[in-house]
Structure 1
Amino acid sequence: MPDGTTSLQIIGPALDGSAGMAAIRSDAESAQWHGDTSWDHAIGPMQFIPSTWEKWHSDGDGDGKDDPHNIFDAAYAAGRYLCASGADLTTGEGWTRAVFSYDHSDDYVRNVLARANSYAAR
């Protein structure tokens, strides 16, 4: 949508411990975001776990709402999260450390780096 909000909500797979996923139980508060009363799910275009969104929620477009399904809000929150790592994002090592703080997986860091390099090459 022009306002940055996804036309359909982006809900990640259940974080139920299968297929290398973390096992994170849902609670009443997080289930409001994704509808699953058993397992948590990452939400929105930046795939925030609801508890992480609760901490880093941001109003990136200045409309008075903080919505993980809005790319402006979600990207701003992700930037704040990465900067909070204290890493120097102008260096490869710092960037890697910051992305690892977002998701503690070397595979995730490599995937993000590959996508960032692909995007930068356009």
Structure 2
Amino acid sequence: MVNIFPPIPFSKFKIGKWGSKIEDEKWISTQPITTTTAAAMQIVASVPRIAYCRPNLIKYSQFKFILRDGTVVRTWTSPLFGDDYIFLADPDGKMIYGGFVWKYKELLKDAIELIRRSFT
């Protein structure tokens, strides 16, 4: 299977509108992305087959830890499909970054642990 999503240069990453539902907008952070958060996003982006997820799914996630810049790391496992999700959120609980994997769950867990060791 070919990954059709090209890597994103996070220096040019901007929060935009996700999907067509207005409900998603209330889940998207408007705070600027810090260097620490951008580095955490790069680590998550290195997980094979990571895909972006809808911002409204953050409401199901659970708190894991806080980065030194105040960004909150949250995770969730979908009960329907078993996908593992990671969310980087602002202190208000709004999504800065969100992604999920199905096949490479262990690599995502390793990435989360690397983020914990490097940025907390």
TM over 0.5: no
TM-score (norm 2): 0.32
Question: Radius of gyration: which is bigger?
Answer: 1
Name which structure has the greater RCO, CA cutoff 8 Å, separation 6+: 2
TM-score (norm 1): 0.32
Q: Which has the higher helix share?
A: 1
Q: Which has the higher strand share?
A: 2
